[in-house]
């Protein structure tokens, strides 16, 4: 569920007792994201599981606590914005909404079906929680910059978060946007990079290397945080550090593992692209994610309330 109490302390470094309460909640959100995203991809017969699993903990931190919706109203003009620029991880985004009660599980598993609002890549006209349509890499980042600028021009204190894939950083548009955001000192903007080191065909470093990545962002004028993208306390601390930076945009480079949480998928590039999961594969994945035998059918069919 939305956690306004957690938002109240988002500009402070987390104290241990707050972390104790918050972290189990975020972890539960992350588990739901992983299970439901895979169920949706299984039901769809296609989708990108590797990159959905690698960003699950980051999404859990954002939707589990960080994103602030005044009055618990996700349509409030003063809400924080989140844009999934790596739009192919859409199943994880839809699952994150479901995990905090903003979408129905049974809708998430209609992913990629004709007539479903759960398009293969997020589409703003179909989904009230979606801030803008994405799927063409680089564009969500630019749109998020526009939102951050617009919010600042309207003197709203809301923050804008945007998640990029690592392969996405090969798009020139990203660096156009990086220059713009730094030049205009958009301190209300926080980018998260799901740095799982793999892209569609191969490892980043074999396609077109990104390193030294942190130095690139620093050179472009950004505040940089590097974290283990599967360690919730580290992510939450980095988000709070970023929120405290007043004179420049922030980027959180989150080192992640493609397919994280499912043994057969971890670090295996075969699971990046759009794949069809077999019944055996989805059951094995669900068991890996702690789904018990008697819950299996309900998770696979989105019948969890």
- Ranges of H-type helices in the chain: 4-8, 16-44, 49-54, 56-61, 90-99, 105-108, 139-153, 172-183, 204-207, 213-219, 232-243, 279-288, 296-300
In the region spanning residues 74 to 133, those forming contacts with another protein, defined by CB under 8 A, are 77, 123-125, 131-133
* Sole window of 4-12, 147-155, 205-213, 282-290 interacting with another protein (rule: CB under 8 A): 147-155
CA distance linking residue 172 with residue 104, whole number of Å: 37
Question: How many angstroms from the chain centroid is the CA of residue 73?
Answer: 20
Name which position in 183, 206, 218, 276 contacts another protein (CB under 8 A): 183
Q: Does 136 bind another protein (CB under 8 A)?
A: yes
| Tokens encoding 246 | 């007043």
Minimum Å gap between C-beta 208 and another protein is 18
φ and ψ of 177, to 5 deg: -65, -40
Q: Which C-beta is closer to another protein: that of 171 or that of 234?
A: 171
Q: Is 73 in the site for another protein (CB under 8 A)?
A: no
C-alpha R_g of the chain: 18
Asked if 226 is part of the footprint of another protein (rule: CB under 8 A), the reply reads no
Indicate which single residue of 7, 180, 185, 243 sits in contact with another protein (rule: CB under 8 A).
180
Structure tokens at 146: 């526009």
Site for another protein in 160-179 (CB under 8 A): 172-173, 176-177, 179
Least spacing, CB of residue 168 vs another protein, in Å: 13
> Closest distance between another protein and the C-beta of residue 162, in Å?
10
Please tell me the distance from the alpha carbon of residue 56 to that of residue 102, in angstroms, as a whole number.
17
> Could you list the residues that contact another protein (CB under 8 A)?
77, 123-125, 131-136, 138-139, 141-151, 153-154, 172-173, 176-177, 179-180, 183
């Amino acid at each position: 569920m939305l956690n306004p109490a957690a938002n109240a302390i988002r500009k402070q470094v987390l104290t241990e007792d707050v972390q104790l309460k918050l972290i189990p909640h975020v972890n539960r959100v992350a588990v739901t994201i992983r299970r439901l995203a895979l169920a949706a991809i299984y039901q769809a017969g296609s989708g990108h599981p590797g990159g959905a699993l690698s960003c699950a903990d980051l999404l859990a931190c954002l939707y589990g606590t960080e994103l602030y919706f005044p009055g618990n109203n996700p349509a409030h003009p003063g809400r924080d914005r989140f844009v999934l620029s790596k739009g192919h991880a859409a199943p994880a985004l839809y699952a994150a909404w479901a995990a905090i009660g903003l979408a129905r599980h049974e809708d998430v598993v209609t992913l990629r079906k004709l007539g479903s609002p759960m398009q293969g890549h997020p589409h703003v006209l179909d989904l009230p929680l979606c801030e803008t349509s994405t799927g063409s890499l680089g564009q969500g980042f630019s749109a998020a910059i526009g939102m951050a600028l617009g919010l600042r021009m309207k003197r709203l204190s809301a923050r804008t978060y945007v998640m990029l894939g690592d392969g996405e950083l090969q798009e020139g548009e990203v660096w156009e946007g990086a220059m713009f955001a730094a030049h205009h000192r958009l301190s209300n903007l926080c980018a998260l990079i799901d740095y799982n080191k793999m892209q569609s065909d191969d490892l980043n470093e074999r396609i077109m290397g990104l390193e030294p990545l942190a130095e690139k962002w620093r050179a472009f004028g950004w505040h940089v945080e590097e974290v283990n993208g599967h360690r919730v306390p580290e992510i939450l601390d980095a988000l709070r550090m970023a929120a405290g930076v007043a004179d420049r945009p922030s980027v959180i480079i989150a080192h992640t593992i493609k397919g994280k949480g499912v043994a057969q998928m971890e670090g295996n590039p075969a699971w990046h692209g759009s794949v069809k999961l077999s019944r055996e594969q989805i059951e094995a994945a669900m068991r890996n994610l702690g789904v018990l035998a008697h819950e299996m059918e309900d998770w696979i069919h989105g019948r969890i309330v």
